[in-house]
Amino acid sequence: MDVLILAPQPFFIERGTPIAVRNLATALAKQGHHIDLLVFPGGKQLDINGVDVHRIPHLGFLSDIGPGFSIRKLIADIVMLPKAATLIRRGRHDLVIAVEESAYIALVLRRFFGVPYICDIDSSIPEQLGDKFNLPSWLVRLFERAEGRAARGAIGAITCCRALADITRAHAPDLPIQTLEDIPLTDDAPSLPVPEDCQFDVPVIMYVGNLEAYQGVDLLLDGFAAAVAKGAIAQLVIIGGAPAHISALRERAQKLGITAQVSILGPRPVAQIGRYLAQATIVASPRTKGRNTPMKVYSYLDSGRPLLATRLPTHTQVLDDDIAMLVDPDAASMARGITALIDDPSLRSRLANAAQIRVQSEFSRPAFERKLSRFMTEKIMPQIGMAQPNTRRNFEPRPATPDLHRDTWEKPSIENNK
């Protein structure tokens, strides 16, 4: 097929959704499809065989758009619509894959050009906006109706977790849905030198990701302080975060009296995530809000280190007691989990080994590609008159075209914004 992917993010930057978009585009191209990928300005250029990257016009105020809702992102979405229409008019696209809010763009394009689309759902927009802005219930319901309309206009949906699949199924009960969990980012781990800023002689509890409130890093800090107060000897290492969040976290550690036991390193390149995780004794995901599973969880599971996580749906749709230490989202439970893992090497080994086995069977790159191929072949291609791959016309990969709107490369950092 000729596929147009609409991805309303800068590309490529080391952040949750752009990483997921790269994985999707790469896997589809590997399976023989040609991809036109339309993205925002910003990020570094990637050359992926079979993928042509296009960008909306590089207007100065639309550069460096961050994750989540903003007026600049809304304007960029509006600018994306005519650019997407131009690509469809010029091409022979069989399918549009619309990431996040670009499903509304794809809905409009289908009315004008008749090209079917798939929703690629990495988060529930009504839920995200409701949590962030404390919207009144009537406005959340309005956004939910719009979300449902976009789902019912699609011929299929891809979600990153079961919770989002359930939301989508509630909107469109008969819609074919495929859950594609994220892929671990730990391939480089043990072969590289130990980072100089992460060398400790005591057990290390490590968190990697952004420091937004929903990630629960304050809870982790409180639980760690309680464990230290009861005699636990360990170092808490926190990687990632914006300057304001880092400053607030350091103040909290000082008030708790654990400044010496807490190392807040700030952002580090995602390419080095394996190096840092290899220095951990325990890895932690203390998230307290949201439904989608954090991308970091899959790298944690593949790290060979035991995972400590909150017993909430954001985690339990992927994790269970066989592969992780699950605790209630309160400081006392977090402290008990930390202490149990520090004191019991055999427990750490059992959880870590079981987690790696689960990753290889369900969350590896081959598993991702297998699920995607089966979904496209069995559920999507028959709907658009292509019963078997590559029977409509011969496919010859086109070389990647130069990006005339390429932005300057920005240093990637370990931030899980998905």
Q: Give the model's pLDDT for residue 187.
A: 57
Residue-wise pLDDT for 372-412, tens only, equals 999 999 999 999 987 554 444 443 444 444 433 333 333 33
Q: Distances from the Cα of 128 to the Cαs of 104, 134, 290, 385, 401, in angstroms?
A: 17, 10, 8, 36, 35
12 upstream amide cis, omega within 30 of 0: yes
At 192 the pLDDT is: 63
| pLDDT confidence of residue 191 | 56
DSSP code, position 409: P
Q: How many residues does the chain have?
A: 418
- pLDDT for 352: 98
Sheet strands (E) in 325-412? 325-327
Angle at which helices 365-375 and 16-30 pack, to 10 degrees?
60
Could you tell me if 306 and 348 are in contact, meaning their C-beta atoms sit under 8 angstroms apart?
yes
Give the amino acid at 316. Answer: T
Segments in the chain below pLDDT 70: 187-192, 387-418
Q: What is the pLDDT of residue 101?
A: 95
Predicted local confidence at residue 331, as pLDDT: 98
Residue with tokens 């290492």, as numbered in its chain: 237
